[in-house]
Amino acid sequence: MMNRITELFSIKFPLIQAGMIWCSDWKLASAVSNSGGLGIIGSGSMYPEVLDAQIIKCKNATSKPFAVNLPMLYPDIDKHIATIIKHNVPIVFTSAGNPKTWTKHLKDHGIIVVHVVSSLKFALKAQDAGVDAIVAEGFEAGGHNGRDETTTLCLLPMIAGALKIPLIAAGGIGTGRGMLAAMNLGADGVQIGSRFVASSESSAHEKFKNRVVEAKEGDTELTLKEITPVRLIKNDFYFQLKEAYSKGATTDELKQLLGRGRAKKGMFEGDMEDGELEIGQISGLIEKVQPAAEIIEEILSEYSKALEEQKTKKFKF
Ligand code: NDP
């Protein structure tokens, strides 16, 4: 399955695991890379010394390329960047910030840079900043997302038609059919998050993994747009937010209610009521916790089958 994305990253399949805070440490990243995809360490929830140790562990667990996701609003970003360069990490996915700030520095050190966007405007900005590829993340995605609520179905063709560099689709993809749909809309590869949260290797708390498996259609919502928009599961914390909104809460009051470390409390420590449970809409289709290798195998096998059906299908209009 060779294309611009597999060539860019030197991987076997254009299937990339999202770098998710509290869920994707070296175990998941190396398992995905060892299975022929691209594994990503989510560094946003890691203190600098933690990321350093994680990269060493990942290198010991795989000889294949892997990446680090770097949210640009991370408070000690310069330390993370120094660590990434020190360990010759080959690929960095940047998000939540201006791609102009760090792209040149990373590329001067021979690092492949991919930037995550949720709109056409920012995709073009990232291309101008010199990144090697774009992740276009639609409204369906879990965790932090764009304000405009553009769905993956609309975002992909808009960006694909305007972009020269490779395009990776994200948001709402968790199956082989979903992967094929994204490729049909112009993507060169897919990035999958939620499905890997429910993997055996994910560092998420078991209670959160099980909650993701239980989730049904309609169980998540994109909220907190006044602070940083985030898609999360509707639990007690969500209903507290809803009540605050109904009483006309100010941004400061919402910030106070959110507090600090809620994502850790929910996804890592397993507080299903008061924690922030970030997951995508595709959670409604996730049926069990599986090893990452099995997830990849299932997705690729369904993709091939669907592609074959598509080739032979007699479309009725
Ligand atoms: P909070 O401000 O609520 O809490 C910060 C959390 O990050 C704490 O749990 C803390 O761990 C951990 N942490 C890791 N390294 C550091 C550090 N150097 N300084 C301070 N805290 C650190 O943030 P969230 O939990 O909502 O978000 C966590 C991270 O997620 C952000 O720092 C950011 O990097 C990333 N993020 C990414 C976004 C994106 O990609 N679009 C958007 C928003 C956030 P401990 O509790 O052990 O102290």
Residues with a CB atom less than 6 Å from ligand 1: 21, 44-47, 71, 73-76, 95-96, 144, 228, 260-264
Q: Which of 20, 21, 40, 255 is the best mutation target for the ligand 1 pocket, counting ligand atoms within 8 Å of the beta carbon and taking the most?
A: 21
Residue nearest to atom 2 of ligand 1 (CA): 260
Give the Å distance between the CA of 180 and the centre of ligand 1.
34
In a domain, 16, yes or no: yes
Q: What is the pLDDT along the chain (317 residues), one digit of tens a residue?
A: 899 999 999 999 999 999 999 999 999 999 999 999 999 999 999 999 999 999 999 999 999 999 999 999 999 999 999 999 999 999 999 999 999 999 999 999 999 999 999 999 999 999 999 999 999 999 999 999 999 999 999 999 999 999 999 999 999 999 999 999 999 999 999 999 999 999 999 999 999 999 999 999 999 999 999 999 999 999 999 999 999 999 999 999 999 999 999 999 999 999 999 999 999 999 999 999 999 999 999 999 999 999 999 988 765 54
In a domain, 314, yes or no: no
Which residue range(s) make up the domain with 210? 206-282
| DSSP line for the chain | --SHHHHHHT-SSSEEE---TTT--HHHHHHHHHTTSBEEEEGGGS-HHHHHHHHHHHHHH-SS-EEEEEETT-TTHHHHHHHHHHTT-SEEEEESS-TTTTHHHHHHTT-EEEEEESSHHHHHHHHHTT-SEEEEE-TT-SEE--SS---HHHHHHHHHTT-SS-EEEESS--SHHHHHHHHHTT-SEEEE-HHHHTBTT--S-HHHHHHHHH--TT-EEEE-TTTS-EEEE-SHHHHHHHHHHHTT--HHHHHHHH-SSHHIIIIIT--TTTS--B--GGGGG----B-HHHHHHHHHHHHHHHHHHHHH-----
In a domain, 154, yes or no: yes
Domain total for the chain? Answer: 2
For the domain that residue 172 is a member of, what is the CATH number?
Answer: 3.20.20.70
In a domain, 316, yes or no: no
Give the Å distance between the CA of 166 and the centre of ligand 1.
29
In a domain, 317, yes or no: no
Give the Å distance between the CA of 186 and the centre of ligand 1.
33
Examine the domain organization and report whether 211 and 266 are in the same domain: yes
In a domain, 149, yes or no: yes
pLDDT for 313 equals 79
In a domain, 188, yes or no: yes
Examine the domain organization and report whether 188 and 249 are in the same domain: no
Examine the domain organization and report whether 239 and 293 are in the same domain: no
Examine the domain organization and report whether 214 and 247 are in the same domain: yes
In a domain, 199, yes or no: yes
Q: Which atom of ligand 1 is nearest to the CA of 259?
A: 3
Examine the domain organization and report whether 112 and 219 are in the same domain: no
